[in-house]
Amino acid sequence: MSLGATLAAGRTDIQTVLDDLLAPFDGAVGDAMRHATQGGKRLRGVLALECAALSGAPRDGALRLAAAIEAVHAYSLIHDDLPCMDDDDLRRGRPTVHRQWDEATAVLAGDALQTAAFEWLADPATDPDGALRADLVLTLARAAGARGMVRGQALDIAAESAATPLTLERITELQRLKTGCLLEWPCRAGAMLGRAEPAPLVAYAGHLGLAFQIVDDLLDVEGSAATLGKAVGKDAGAGKATFVSILGVAGARARAADLIAAARTALSPFGGRAAGLDALACYVLDRDR
Amino acid sequence: MSLGATLAAGRTDIQTVLDDLLAPFDGAVGDAMRHATQGGKRLRGVLALECAALSGAPRDGALRLAAAIEAVHAYSLIHDDLPCMDDDDLRRGRPTVHRQWDEATAVLAGDALQTAAFEWLADPATDPDGALRADLVLTLARAAGARGMVRGQALDIAAESAATPLTLERITELQRLKTGCLLEWPCRAGAMLGRAEPAPLVAYAGHLGLAFQIVDDLLDVEGSAATLGKAVGKDAGAGKATFVSILGVAGARARAADLIAAARTALSPFGGRAAGLDALACYVLDRDR
């Protein structure tokens, strides 16, 4: 199978596992949970699969890690899109959950997707070793909680009403929390599932996550809503400091390229076996959505 | 120590552990998490302590179970009080989180309290056995998620716009999910932590949970906002079917008394060692808040 076919097969398998795991949830909340976990780039899930495979972990367990991180990502998007947060109508080219249903359903569907992620990790089907399952829960909770992603979201909201724009250092820290933690976790978890040392994959993920966010800022300026499936120009419109507003378009693009080069270097211990992760790094730099 | 003093010491210890565990969270979200976990009856936390003690579990681990269930309860209240849900201004005699801060902070603080509960359970400080920690996460996630509490909340919202009022059978099922699951979990988890058979304590919790909700409905009709620390008469005002609207005040009170008698009977295998749980059952029936 070609590299592209392998990554595409990963995305398909993740959707199949998510559909299976979400099937028991009924009513509007269940429908909204499924709606929010359809489509998307599946970057976090594919990172889990690739890092698990590279670490020698079984595919079945890896797919549960992928489903869990995609569920947490979907929960964060549902709540982030709410009128009291970013107030977005469009996500992945479709109506956001509170537009398709209502705000109460969006709050509950996000809540339940977070719960489901921890349920799936803690289940013996993920791995026979209970201590490992508990560690997967612990590391994901640290990455997603009020010292991780939620802290990044809170800093982001605070930045909008701040008197002075953020410095590059503060934006880097904010984005490391808001986006980086949930891109790092699948790499760490994949290594844990294969009983491998997580450090090189965590280093890779650190560079990748920051590059990912810089490219996000570039796409907000240069991308089209049709391709991205969400609104563009929101940050510039809000006068918000971003990597692009501080570094300029050319500077931001150069910084992203440097980070992707560093991410690829972090893969050197694995040689050709890391071709999938290497391709993902290149994709993050060149993506148009 | 008298029974009352033992239960009061439990409430104080739970608050101390919650304060310690929440101390690392800063900013408005951290403040809101602390605000939402102050006060309250601590019924769920005290159930965890009493069931753990009865099962021979260590106090330190039991306090972490209590903190986790109180965090999940607080998260559910924060989100339930949002304008798009029950739209409440007052909780435990103080402003709700979205009134004291804003809706975005309330969404994030609720999200982060849920995450924190799973983080605390999965941490080795809860118990040395990783498989047990994973089981604690799994059972809590099942109780709180879209087949448990969240499903109950969704059914409750759907009932408000239903053409015909719910039957007694449907209200019982709705309340079992919405309230019962999170009253049952601390009893189950306390037994698990002490390596005891959960069945008798789970049976106790089932009767207690339903009685608790019937008394809640009675207090909504008969209680005062000053004592309860939250709005009263909301269900009757909304024309909502409750245990009281179907059974009448006297019928509902009799049903609650029968359930509490059944809960106390479920404790008979433990004899005098279950005096704390017996007292809690009596308190649930006689409470005025």
Q: Which residues of A58-69 are buried (b: 16+ CB within 10 A; e: fewer)?
A: eeebbbbbbbbb
Minimal-distance CA residue of chain A relative to B151: A29
The stretches in chain A having pLDDT less than 50 are none
> For residue B209, how far is the Cα from the chain centroid?
9
Taking an 8 Å cut-off on Cβ atoms, the answer to whether B138 and A146 are in contact is: no
DSSP labels for A110-177?
A: HHHHHHHHHHHHHSTTT-S-HHHHHHHHHHHHHHHSTTTHHHHHHHHHHHHT-SSPPPHHHHHHHHII
Supply the pLDDT for residue B237. 65
Nearest Cβ partner of A104 from B85, B108, B131?
Answer: B85
| Closest among B80, B154, B67, B244 to A28, alpha carbons compared | B154
Supply the pLDDT for residue A1. 64
CA distance B132 to chain A (A): 7
Q: Which helix (H) or strand (E) holds A90?
A: strand A90-91
User: Which residue has tokens 């490992």?
Assistant: A132
Rounded distance between C-alpha atoms, residue A118 and residue A69, angstroms = 10
Supply the pLDDT for residue A289. 72
Supply the pLDDT for residue B128. 98
Q: Does residue A166 belong to the interface with chain B, where contact is any CB pair within 8 Å?
A: no
The stretches in chain B having pLDDT less than 50 are none
Supply the pLDDT for residue B240. 79
Rounded distance between C-alpha atoms, residue A62 and residue A55, angstroms = 11
Taking an 8 Å cut-off on Cβ atoms, the answer to whether A108 and B154 are in contact is: yes
- State how many domains chain A has: 1
Structural domain range at position A247: 3-286
What CATH number does the domain containing A271 carry?
1.10.600.10
Supply the pLDDT for residue B35. 97
Q: Does residue B60 belong to the interface with chain A, where contact is any CB pair within 8 Å?
A: no
Q: Which residues of A192-229 are buried (b: 16+ CB within 10 A; e: fewer)?
A: bbbebebebbbbbbbbbbbbbbbbbbbbbeebeeeebe
Q: Does residue A144 belong to the interface with chain B, where contact is any CB pair within 8 Å?
A: yes
Whether the CB-CB separation of A190 and A50 falls below 8 Å is answered with yes
Q: Which of A121, A138, A160 to mutate to test the interface with B (most CBs of B within 10 A)?
A: A138
Supply the pLDDT for residue B3. 74
Supply the pLDDT for residue A160. 83
Rounded distance between C-alpha atoms, residue B254 and residue B266, angstroms = 19
